[in-house]
Amino acid sequence: MVLKIVNTCLKIAVPLLLATAFVSCSKKSYIDVEYRLPPSAGTLAGRTVFVETRDFRSDTEIFDRRAKDKFKDFSGLFALSLTFPEDQHRLKGAYELPMLFETALVERLKKLGIGMAAETSPNVPEFQIKINQFRIKLIGRKWLADVSYEASLSQDTQLVAREVVSGSAERMRLVGSGGAEKVIGEIFTDMINRLNIERLFQQAGL
């Protein structure tokens, strides 16, 4: 679990980032990511997990050379907004990549009725997220995104269930960064929602 103090500071940073962008639109330092949560019915109510995220990417560069030229002022922060099935829309906060994944998946877990433990405990399963790839490329007139991560459940330090999720998406390049942000939001939503959390808990016997 990323330290709460860091999370709080990044949340506070969102209005500042937006204000900065308003003053100087050509020097946007963050990327907007919209995550659309799927419908859920609290099917895993009563469970509690401790969430941990690790970055296992062999190449931590998010953009290839051409794409990086379009995001020269990118600070490494993603401004995450949540869209709920009821069409409610909420700005969640600004995060670096590992916390972006963790925050979105925690929202999914909560919608399923799962509680979050503040610290590790022998009696609480660990829900671990391993980010394997997150790459944005600009090839010709298309934005391409490749994402891969692993979600696992461990009990008493023993791995009891795991699932690997990976996929790609592409979108035609638009003026500015809108096309890239659109494809990032689309593949991010698809990858987070593709994880079958109920099956993961069934496999783990939890």
Q: Are 17 and 29 a contacting pair, CB within 8 Å? A: yes
Rounded to two decimals, the pTM is 0.83
When the pLDDT of each residue in the chain is averaged and rounded to a whole number, the result is 85
| CA-based nearest residue to 32, from 187, 178, 194 | 178
Name every residue whose Cβ is closer than 8 Å to that of residue 171 and which is 6 or more positions away in sequence. 142, 143, 179, 180, 182, 183, 186
Q: Let me know how long the chain is.
A: 206
- Which whole number is the average pLDDT over 182-201? 92
Q: Are 160 and 205 a contacting pair, CB within 8 Å? A: yes
Strand 89-95 relative to strand 115-116, pairing: unpaired
Pick the range with the lowest mean pLDDT from 41-50, 177-186, 191-200.
177-186
pLDDT at 174: 60
Is 86 a domain residue? no
Is 111 a domain residue? yes
pLDDT at 153: 96
Q: Are 136 and 180 a contacting pair, CB within 8 Å? A: yes
> 121-136 pLDDT, tens per residue?
888 999 999 999 999 9
Structure tokens that stand for 204 in this block: 């783990």
> 141-176 pLDDT, tens per residue?
888 889 999 999 999 889 999 999 999 888 776 655
69: domain CATH number? Answer: 3.30.160.150
Apex CA 34: angle with CA 57 and CA 5, to 5°? Answer: 65
pLDDT at 143: 87
Say yes or no to pLDDT of 6 above 80.
Answer: no
In this prediction, residue 1 has a pLDDT band, given cuts at 50, 70 and 90, of: low
Q: Which residue has the tokens 């994944």?
A: 101
pLDDT at 61: 93
Say yes or no to pLDDT of 21 above 50.
Answer: no
Q: Are 148 and 188 a contacting pair, CB within 8 Å? A: no
Strand 126-139 relative to strand 142-155, pairing: antiparallel
Q: Other CB atoms closer than 10 Å to residue 173's CB: what's the count? A: 18
- Which whole number is the average pLDDT over 16-28? 48
- Which whole number is the average pLDDT over 91-107? 96
pLDDT at 134: 95
Is 48 a domain residue? yes
Structure tokens that stand for 107 in this block: 């929202």
Helix, strand or coil, per DSSP, at residue 119: coil
Is 117 a domain residue? yes
Say yes or no to pLDDT of 18 above 50.
Answer: no
Is 90 a domain residue? no
Total of domains in the chain: 1
> 28-48 pLDDT, tens per residue?
889 999 999 998 878 899 999
The residue segments making up the domain with residue 171 are 40-74+97-204
Is 2 a domain residue? no
Is 13 a domain residue? no
